[in-house]
Homo-oligomer: A and B are copies of this chain.
């Protein structure tokens, strides 16, 4: 199909489905490799998901954390990018179906990630947006800042309190970071912005079913995170399950107590995930063994046991650490897996022997509001302001586009001085003409 391909049309064809961290790094690593490569994604950009919560809370703007795959891969002439939604796979015919066509592969890399799940309560979705896509982040931002705006127009009372109550469900890194950022917003950043309300009256509740926040982190970091959240007046409720969510309220069930119904206009979802629709389809077609979270069991080379020419990387893969526990669904894991598979294919093309995938853990961190961070770097536990600076540096360096590194640095530097950049409520604004018609005024 390409008019001017620099690779012969009969070159081994690697098809990558999904252009997030895993897929994009695999594609880039395969640039100039001699393989013919096609990257399929339903979006034309890769998203720096670990910073998505900063878009949701108005600290960064969307363009800052997104990169066009096509631009990253511009110089990889053997790699083409197709904006297409892959929806099915035939492992026998070795083809992937997408809206508008079918593509044949010799090797497939599946990197389509995960999406939210509401534990079987899909009706909660409308009342508790998650945080996986740009649109989710803008929806969250809309709700957060609209709540403050609506509160500003109301007299004191239960309705205003409801608007100023925010519930974050799930205290993994995303939930903790989201709650911390919300606390910063209301306790510091927005103080003085309103005339009728005091933003410090906002209540932030963080709900977690496990015994502690950041359940997968070491205990000392959990304690540090707990302390920081308490300092920021975040009401942390561990060992508590969300039983029901509807417009304006959440029912929370503590482990050993009666359920409590919290009146809150804004509920933010940072809890469970499940495989992407394409990933689920791949598992079904190949009969891949999945863990409880729906992640596919992969071999030491990240391929499926039944199909050695199909690799699964990133959040979709259940790959084990040396101690037998699975690797977490984090960006560095996906990046390293993408690069690993690309290098493996290059080794094979050269007739070299395989090496198994090994995750190099540089550490993990969670930022809890401004200048506060808990984490471990190369095995050392770190926290506080200097950890925050280090964390910022690591994140900036991971942003693919140099232009983004600069703008995000500027934004962050600016943030040191207490100013913020993008708290816009976007989406369709109310139509004045429609409101006029509703009030019996002849519309224009």
Interface residues of A (CB under 8 A from B): 1-5, 42-45, 60-64, 66, 68, 70-71, 74-75, 77, 80-88, 97, 99-101, 133-135, 145-146, 149-150, 152-153, 155-156, 192-197, 274-278, 280-281, 401-404, 406-407, 410-411, 414, 419-433, 435-436, 439, 441, 443-444
Contacts and interface: CB of A to CB of B under 8 A. Distances in A.
B411 A87 contact: no
B406 A149 contact: no
20 contacts: A3-B195, A3-B197, A5-B195, A43-B424, A45-B423, A45-B425, A63-B64, A66-B422, A74-B193, A80-B195, A80-B196, A81-B152, A82-B152, A84-B153, A87-B436, A99-B435, A277-B431, A277-B433, A401-B419, A403-B419
A82 B153 contact: yes
User: Could you say how many copies of this chain the assembly holds?
Assistant: 2
Contact of A63 (B61, B75, B77): B61
Given A4-B195, A63-B424, A281-B436, 11 more contacts: A1-B196, A63-B64, A71-B423, A74-B192, A74-B193, A77-B195, A82-B152, A99-B435, A133-B429, A135-B429, A410-B410
Nearest to A80: B195
Given A70-B193, A80-B195, A277 B153 contact: no
Nearest to A197: B3
Given A277-B436, A433-B277, A435-B87, A62 B101 contact: no
B193 A83 contact: no
B85 A134 contact: no
Contacts of A133: 429
Nearest to A285: B441
Contact of A61 (B64, B71, B195, B414): B64
Nearest to A427: B135
Contacts of A426: 62, 134-135
